Amino acid sequence: MREQIADICRKAKYSIKNFSSDPVNSLEYLIPIAIFLIGIINGIVTQRAFTHNGGYGAQMNAIREYGLFDGYSEKFTTGTTGLIIHGFWGRVILILAGIQLILIFYKCIKNNAHLFILLLAVSGLLTVFQIFMTDCLFASEFSTVYMGRETFEICYEKVSGILYNNILEVVPDILVVAVYAVISIGAVIVFLFSIYGISMIENNGRTIKNTALVLAFSMILVPLVLLFLQNVVPLLSGVLAVVLMVAIIVICFVTFIGGLTEGGGETAQAKSVRNESGSSPKREKAAAAYSNMKGERKMTEKESKIRRVYVTDLNDIGGCELFRVHGMLKDYIVRYNGVAEGKICTVEEFQSGKVHIYDKATGREIPGSEIPWKK
């Protein structure tokens, strides 16, 4: 990189030194360098103008007013990127590009290559015409790049009137679009052919390549970089909003999975040792020892069959609801979280008292009157 910069500086110094004896080649080499440097200056000036005019402050105020999740049409901006083309330095760049084009045409005329200039002019006119027709057919405004808005609106109104009131009433739409496509493709082919022919004359190829690269840098890359820098605040707020949304979705998903897996219930069955008539004294003694060790009271056979189910987040926002549903063979009580159902027990088991359902948050038992049939 250092050697390349040194070589460019050496050639630029040589071109300046020999300007009086060979102005055409000297200008052809110096103009791309000038466009490149002016492009950098143009970017710095327009970014400074955005900062000085309170661009970032306005975006911060928009974030305070609309929050993270709203108002992005007010937060994002084109900033001062329009000055890249329409500002003073942008006009200087276009003037230098025009001078370069004149030098290229001069070499073509000097080498009797008038045909390529004519083809380039024809393709240029066709391209301008097709851009305008694109605006008329598809209601765009690309032509405002090379003509004033007032002129564009007058021409657009007249041409659109002729197109829609006269031509499209007689000619099928598909035929108009086909002619439009053929002319567009023809203009591109003629343009590429003429550029290829012009680049073959003397060292025009290198000149065209260097000029095209610095124009792309100054008129495309620099505005894109500025557009990013001038919208970095809303971009960061957007990233933060996405992170928060993902976090909320993950939390809701984890809560949802936990609600499904947590209880087909917590059984409060405690095993009791039954005193059967045929049991041995050794078994009775072991059962008594087990009961004493656990510190549990002996339960009756009926109590041991009772199942208690505790429902989390009952009737809360994002929580669960209880419903009775009709099954193929039996009716069931289900837990529904807005997405999926989870069976708790049959309606028969609930009504017979074999299953008791509780709100886990309050410990309150849910009566059957609070469990409706699902519609």
Q: Please tell me whether residues 219 and 96 are part of one structural domain.
A: yes
Does residue 118 form part of some domain?
Answer: yes
Contacts of 15 (CB under 8 A, 6+ apart): 25, 26, 29, 30
Q: What is the pTM of this model?
A: 0.53
Q: Please tell me whether residues 34 and 110 are part of one structural domain.
A: yes
Instruction: State in Å, rounded, how far the first CA of the chain is from the last one.
Output: 75
Report, in angstroms and rounded to the nearest whole number, the Rg of the chain calculated over CA atoms. 40
pLDDT at position 83, please?
72
Q: Please tell me whether residues 119 and 215 are part of one structural domain.
A: yes
Rounded distance between C-alpha atoms, residue 159 and residue 153, angstroms: 10
Tell me the residue range of the domain where 322 lies.
306-375
Residue 307: pLDDT above 50?
yes
The structure tokens listed for 214 are 């610095």
Q: Please tell me whether residues 285 and 316 are part of one structural domain.
A: no
3-state SS class at 239: helix
pLDDT tens-place string over residues 259-288: 666 554 444 444 444 444 444 555 555 555
pLDDT at position 293, please?
54
pLDDT tens-place string over residues 310-320: 887 787 766 78
The structure tokens listed for 113 are 């290559």
Rounded distance between C-alpha atoms, residue 325 and residue 375, angstroms: 8
Q: What angle do CA 225, 229, 230 make, to 5 degrees?
A: 115
Name the nearest CA neighbour of 93 among 184, 191, 222, 284: 222
Does residue 264 form part of some domain?
Answer: no
Does residue 290 form part of some domain?
Answer: yes
The number of distinct structural domains making up the chain is 3
Q: Please tell me whether residues 94 and 152 are part of one structural domain.
A: yes
Name the nearest CA neighbour of 42 among 82, 101, 96: 82
Residue 37: pLDDT above 80?
yes
Q: Please tell me whether residues 67 and 123 are part of one structural domain.
A: yes
pLDDT tens-place string over residues 326-366: 876 788 898 887 766 778 889 888 888 888 998 888 888 98
Does residue 258 form part of some domain?
Answer: no
Rounded distance between C-alpha atoms, residue 239 and residue 242, angstroms: 5
Q: Please tell me whether residues 198 and 275 are part of one structural domain.
A: no
pLDDT tens-place string over residues 227-245: 888 888 888 888 888 888 8
Choose the weakest-confidence range: 47-51, 83-87, 295-299.
295-299
pLDDT at position 74, please?
66
Q: Which residue(s) pair with 125 in the sheet?
A: none
Q: Please tell me whether residues 169 and 291 are part of one structural domain.
A: no
Residue 18: pLDDT above 70?
yes
Q: Please tell me whether residues 330 and 356 are part of one structural domain.
A: yes
Q: Please tell me whether residues 229 and 333 are part of one structural domain.
A: no
Asked which of 283, 301, 319 is the last residue of a domain, the reply is 301
Asked which of 301, 316, 345 is the last residue of a domain, the reply is 301
pLDDT at position 270, please?
40
Does residue 112 form part of some domain?
Answer: yes
Taking residue 222's Cβ as centre, other Cβ atoms within 10 Å add up to 20
Name the nearest CA neighbour of 334 among 326, 343, 196: 343
Does residue 239 form part of some domain?
Answer: yes
Does residue 255 form part of some domain?
Answer: no
Does residue 187 form part of some domain?
Answer: yes
Residue owning tokens 């979705």 = 249
Count CA within 13 A, CB hemisphere, residue 159. 15
Between these two residues, 1 and 282, which has the higher pLDDT value?
A: 1
- Write the DSSP assignment of 176-228 as a string of letters: HHHHHHHHHHHHHHHHHHHHHHHHTSTTHHHHHHHHHHHHHIIIIIHHHHHHH
Q: What percent of the chain has pLDDT over 90?
A: 4
Q: Please tell me whether residues 192 and 276 are part of one structural domain.
A: no
Q: Please tell me whether residues 240 and 297 are part of one structural domain.
A: no
